[in-house]
Chain A
Amino acid sequence: MKYIAEFRNHAAGAGLAAMIREAVRGRVIRIMEICGGHTITIFKSGLRELLPEGVRLISGPGCPVCVTHNTFIDHAIALSALPGVTITSFGDMMRVPGSASSLQKEKARGADIRICYSPLDALEIARTEPGRKIVFLGIGFETTAPGIAATIKRAYSEGLRNFTVLGAMKTVPAAMRALVAGGEVGIDAFICPGHVSTITGLGIYEFLARDFNTPCVVSGFEPLDMLRAIHMIALQLKEGRAAVENQYTRTASSDGNPKARAILDEVFVPCDVAWRGIGVIPGSGLAIAPAFGAHDASAAFDIRVPESHEHPLCICGDIMRGMRTPHECGLFAKACTPENPVGACMVSDEGSCATYYKYARPA
């Protein structure tokens, strides 16, 4: 397929690995890849085997399903029990364990819960089934949020009062700030998420280079993209620089997608939001603006959600902060598997535990 095979050329990979070795020269550099998509590329392509020993890659909190707090799942499950309510959701939310159940289990018990590929599919259900109250579970980062915003705007202009969104959308830079400011994990540099950057542009990472002296390189998702991004980081560290650089120039421009950002600004306002494993990060969430309040499920349904709790042995939170790896979890590949997940990181394709399970499971 055009523009795919070329980015997987073996000789170029070997050449880039040699260049990285030359730039690293035996030092240890700790690089966090924020995005779960990058974690998949690293394992699927065997990049760790190509890289010199000193390059340590740490998986970060960039899987939208994984960082969604238990309270949100519990809230969605409570809504699914209301008469006339249809829950619509991206498929990877279905098996995420809440405090006592999951959407999939509730569906099996008879709740009307349907998987959608796009929020527009949920809107179409609201059009064709006016007698039902359609709640879309709006999770995701800057990549997904514009589509959800556009869908809310369409529901508003069509007067589809039976369409609401239960939102838990989040913005990436706030989490990156929390990780470096927290200082729990030594992070020398970031591989920044490519598709978030197509929306936001590169400016959102400037504070990391300026205030925290941490190099940031936006990377594409093919193996050669990532090796080149790691090389760019290694060069910055070798030269003692910290800058925001872009490897993914074919897709992410420095000023991002202004149309998408305009719709985000129109439909959402910043809010405090709880991240699983990290806690509440002020201003890191996107709440539905008062003008579109009729489409906000958290306001439209008056229900009480009991206090949520997580499995006491699950270390998803530590894994998302880069403190520990799935191999250090007592549940991993034993009590917690993709078929029977205990924690969210084992559910989503982009979750660290799911990726380790698939590509780096202990024999």
Chain B
Amino acid sequence: MKIVSIDGTLGTVEIGGIRRKADLSMVDNVKTGDYVVIHAGFAISVMNEEEAMSTLDLFEEIAKKGEELDRQ
């Protein structure tokens, strides 16, 4: 879920238009706009966007190869 606002260790997070409160005391250096994994009301992990992009790049490359194979 995406952090939309932070007040101390309490954050408001959002996914698909649904907002809820989340405790941010277990994650370091979070800021508005970060994506976090929320579990039972606590943020337990901050998404590493660079790693997310590199995983997506890999999938995109595989998808292109898959499409080429389809055309053959």
**Which A residues form the contact surface with B (CB < 8 A)?**
1-3, 6-7, 9, 11-12, 14-16, 18-19, 90, 117-121, 140, 143-144, 146-148, 150, 195, 198-199, 220, 224-225, 228, 247, 249-253, 257, 259-260, 263
- Whether A224 contacts B45 by the Cβ 8 Å rule is no
A257 to B48, CA, bound (A): 13
Contact in complex: A249, B48 (CB < 8 Å): yes
A50 to chain B, nearest CB (A): 12
Interface string of B31-72 (1 = CB under 8 A from A): 000010101111011011101101110111011111101100
Q: How far is the CB of A126 from chain B (nearest CB, A)?
A: 15
Determine whether the beta carbon of B26 is less than 8 Å from that of A257.
Answer: yes
Give the A-B contact count at a CB cut-off of 8 A.
109
Contacts of B27 in A (CB 8 A): 257, 259
Task: Evaluate contact between B40 and A140: CB separation under 8 angstroms.
Answer: yes
**Contact A147 to B59, CB < 8 A, known contacts A3-B52, A250-B51:** no
Residues of B within 8 A of A247 (CB): 55
Q: How many residues of B contact A (CB 8 A)?
A: 35
Minimum CB–CB distance for B66 against chain A, Å: 3
Q: Are A11 and B63 in contact (CB under 8 A)?
A: yes
Chain A CB within 8 A of B25 CB: yes
Cα separation A4 to B60 with both chains bound (whole Å) = 14
Report if A252-B45 is in contact (Cβ < 8 Å); known contacts: A6-B56, A12-B63, A15-B69: yes
> A120 — which chain B residues lie within 8 A by C-beta?
23, 41-42
Question: Do residues A119 and B26 form an inter-chain contact, with CB atoms below 8 A?
Answer: no
**B8, CB-defined interface residue at 8 Å:** no
Shortest distance from the beta carbon of B33 to any chain A beta carbon, whole Å: 11
Given contacts A195-B39, A257-B26, contact A15 B47 (CB under 8 A): no
Question: If A6-B56, A147-B23, A249-B55 touch, does A257 touch B45 (CB 8 Å cutoff)?
Answer: yes
- When chains A and B are docked, how far (Å) is the Cα of A221 from the Cα of B59? 15
Residues B26 and A260 in contact, CB atoms below 8 Å apart? yes
What sequence of 0s and 1s flags, for each residue 1-40 of chain B, a beta carbon within 8 Å of any chain A beta carbon?
0100000000000011000000101111000000101011
CA distance A6 to B60 in the complex (A): 9
Which B residue sits closest to A117, measured CB to CB?
B41
> In the complex the two chains form, what is the Cα distance from A259 to B66 in whole Å?
42
Inter-chain contact B26/A146, CB cutoff 8 Å: yes
A2 to B53, CA, bound (A): 12
Q: Which residues of B contact A121 (CB under 8 A)?
A: 41
The minimal Cβ–Cβ distance linking A63 to chain B, given in whole angstroms, is 15
20 A-B pairs within 8 Å (CB atoms) are namely: A6-B56, A6-B59, A7-B59, A9-B63, A11-B63, A11-B67, A15-B65, A117-B40, A146-B26, A146-B44, A147-B40, A150-B23, A150-B25, A195-B39, A198-B44, A225-B55, A249-B48, A249-B54, A259-B25, A259-B27
With known contacts A118-B40, A224-B59, A3–B35 Cβ distance under 8 A = yes
| Inter-subunit contact A12/B26 (CB<8 Å) | no
Chain B hits for A257, CB < 8 A: 26-27, 44-45
Closest-by-CB residue of A relative to B42 is: A147
Q: A12-B60, A260-B26 are in contact. Are A143 and B51 (CB under 8 A)?
A: no
Chain B hits for A252, CB < 8 A: 45
> Once bound together, how far apart are the Cα atoms of A53 and B35, in whole Å?
37
Q: Is the CB of B44 within 8 A of A199?
A: yes
| Given A117-B41, A249-B48, A251-B37: 13 more A-B contacts, CB < 8 Å | A9-B59, A15-B62, A15-B69, A119-B40, A146-B42, A147-B42, A150-B42, A195-B45, A225-B55, A228-B58, A249-B54, A250-B47, A259-B28
Specify which chain B residues have a CB less than 8 angstroms from the CB of A18 in the assembled complex: 66, 69
* Partner of B39 from A9, A143, A253, A263 at Cβ < 8 Å: A143
**Residues from chain B with Cβ under 8 Å of A148 in the complex:** 40
- B49 proximity list for chain A (CB < 8 A): 250
With the chains together, A251 CA to B35 CA distance in Å?
10
Would you call A16 and B62 a contact (CB within 8 A)? yes
